[in-house]
Amino acid sequence: MSPRKRTEPAALPAPVSPERHAALHGPLLSWYDRNKRDLPWRRTRDPYAIWLSEVMLQQTQVATVIPYWERFLARFPSVKALASAPLDDVLSGWKGLGYYSRARNLHRAAREVVERFGGKLPATAEELLTLPGFGRYTSGAVASIAFGEQAPIVDGNVARVLSRLFEVEGVPGDREREATLWALASALVKGERPGDFNQALMEHGATVCRPESPLCLLCPVRDGCFAYRKGRVEELPPAKVRAAPRKLFLALAVWPHEGTLLFARRADKGLFGGLWELPAVEVEEDTPEAEATARLATALGTALTLEATLDSVRRQLTHRDLTLRLLRVRGGSRPTRASAFQELRWCTPQEAEALGMSTAMQRALDAALGHGVLESGAPPAKKAAGRSARKTAGR
Ligand code: SF4
């Protein structure tokens, strides 16, 4: 049994009077019944399918999720099917959705569900919390929607609605604010149809109580909204101050050999953890090509010669401004293992399609192929005078 995670913030006094509960719970449920969007995961009672939707919807828009959810379910139709699939297949099914740690955790959790619960998701938020990737939100969502437990949820939409309804102060991320929001959500979810009520709160936040220009005139609980009464709707909740994305530069080895390229699987932790790529090392913005090649040589454990600089691919991630520099290289001995990576493989572009690669790395691969690196006699893009880089230790 995994160690149990902490489930509750410090106990708070019951924050919602029975009158206020009645004024919010019923009207929000009725509004939801009349206005909910017809989404595919709302037509199923399958806990696995509901869990999958909740994981995909974290950090991804509904419209983007729908086709991914349908394809993923068709490919892995049950917890057991997911648990028995190789991780590479799962990552490949996730391709394009980003935040791949979600897919890795989904896979690990599926295996634990098979081992510990006979392939059936446990029905309580407390037990779900013991599984990889299940935080308080996901546990509450699955327990309430799939199993009807009166378990609370707080996501960005719910936090905004509750902040306005109850005039909760504090910036997103503030511990006291978060504890207050969870206490409010816990009190409000008590009552009939907890899963629908949680979805009503989220739906209301997504479509009516929106971040910008909320539709207060259409709001079913406007009379009970403190922020509306006091004219504070625009100022609650205060915007979170976001740090600027960190610039990250990676040098990628494009190493053609008889119709194949060298691919590497990254370590499980960190950015793109567990995914496949053209072997990459971190460099600085002004790292000379020869030095970047030397670092690649070290990572791959073999001497490399830089043949050409092919291209740079930029990609904006939520927290990173990524630049991938493609270096066409060749080496003496072809490695099949390297300590910097989990695995190395020589693959044709067709074989590489089955590997789990991030969208950024896929773009880099497309760019490399666009330079004709696998076409015999293709001229290098920008000749690099055949400089040789010896593998070096600790650089
Ligand atoms: Fe949100 Fe406006 Fe309704 Fe208040 S009245 S809950 S701010 S939509």
Q: Which residues are CB-contacts of 139 (< 8 A; sequence separation ≥ 6)?
A: 125, 126, 128, 129, 151
- Residue indicated by tokens 């220009």: 213
Token pair for 317: 């991630």
The candidate with the shortest Cα–Cα distance to 65, out of 57, 77, 73, is 57
CB 336 within 8 A of CB 329: no
Q: In whole angstroms, how far apart are CA 380 and each of 56, 88, 157, 329?
A: 41, 32, 51, 10
Q: How far, in Å, is the centroid of ligand 1 from the Cα of 170?
A: 18
Q: How many Å apart are CA 68 and CA 49, to the nearest integer?
A: 12
- Residue indicated by tokens 């099949």: 336
Superfamily of domain 246-389: Nucleoside Triphosphate Pyrophosphohydrolase (3.90.79.10)
Q: How far, in Å, is the centroid of ligand 1 from the Cα of 10?
A: 28
Whole-number average pLDDT of the chain: 90
Q: What is the mean pLDDT of residues 19-30?
A: 96
Q: How many Å apart are CA 151 and CA 384, to the nearest integer?
A: 61
Phi-psi region of 372 (alpha: psi -120 to 50; beta: other; left: phi over 0): left
Q: How many Å apart are CA 43 and CA 97, to the nearest integer?
A: 23
How high is the pLDDT of residue 318? Answer: 78
Atom of ligand 1 at shortest range from CA of 208? 8
Q: How far, in Å, is the centroid of ligand 1 from the Cα of 2?
A: 41
Task: Convert the pLDDT of each residue in 151-201 to its tens digit.
Answer: 999 999 999 999 999 999 998 888 999 999 999 999 999 999 999 999 999
Q: Ligand 1 within 6 A of 219 CB?
A: yes
Q: How far, in Å, is the centroid of ligand 1 from the Cα of 27?
A: 13
pLDDT(388) > 60: no
Q: How many Å apart are CA 134 and CA 342, to the nearest integer?
A: 26
Q: How many Å apart are CA 246 and CA 372, to the nearest integer?
A: 32
Q: Which residues are CB-contacts of 59 (< 8 A; sequence separation ≥ 6)?
A: 98, 99, 102, 318
Token pair for 315: 């990609």
pLDDT(211) > 70: yes
Q: What is the largest CA-CA distance in the chain?
A: 79
Q: Ligand 1 within 6 A of 283 CB?
A: no
Task: Convert the pLDDT of each residue in 293-345 to its tens digit.
Answer: 999 999 999 999 999 999 899 998 878 999 999 999 999 889 999 999 999 99
Nearest residue by C-alpha to atom 1 in ligand 1: 209
Q: Output the pTM of the full model.
A: 0.75
CB 357 within 8 A of CB 281: no
Nearest residue by C-alpha to atom 4 in ligand 1: 225
Superfamily of domain 18-235: Hypothetical protein; domain 2 (1.10.340.30)
What is the best residue among 32, 225, 230, 234 to mutate for testing ligand 1's pocket, by most ligand atoms within 8 Å of CB?
225
Q: What is the mean pLDDT of residues 98-104?
A: 89
Nearest residue by C-alpha to atom 5 in ligand 1: 222
Q: Which residues are catalytic?
A: 54
Q: How many Å apart are CA 395 and CA 384, to the nearest integer?
A: 22
pLDDT-derived band of residue 270, with 50, 70 and 90 as boundaries? Answer: confident
Token pair for 245: 């994305």
Q: How many Å apart are CA 132 and CA 245, to the nearest integer?
A: 27
Q: Ligand 1 within 6 A of 80 CB?
A: no
The candidate with the shortest Cα–Cα distance to 185, out of 212, 208, 166, 209, is 166
How high is the pLDDT of residue 4? Answer: 41
SS (H, E, C) 244-297: CCEEEEEEEEECEECCEEEEEECCCCCCCCCCEECCEEEECCCCCHHHHHHHHH
Span(s) in the chain for CATH 3.90.79.10 = 246-389
pLDDT(392) > 70: no
Torsion angle in degrees (nearest 10) through CA of 302, 306, 307, 308:
140
What DSSP string runs through 69-129? HHHHHHHS-SHHHHHHS-HHHHHHHHTTS--THHHHHHHHHHHHHHHHHTTS--SSHHHHT
Q: Ligand 1 within 6 A of 214 CB?
A: yes
Q: What is the mean pLDDT of residues 44-64?
A: 95
Span(s) in the chain for CATH 1.10.340.30 = 18-235
What is the best residue among 35, 184, 209, 212 to mutate for testing ligand 1's pocket, by most ligand atoms within 8 Å of CB?
209
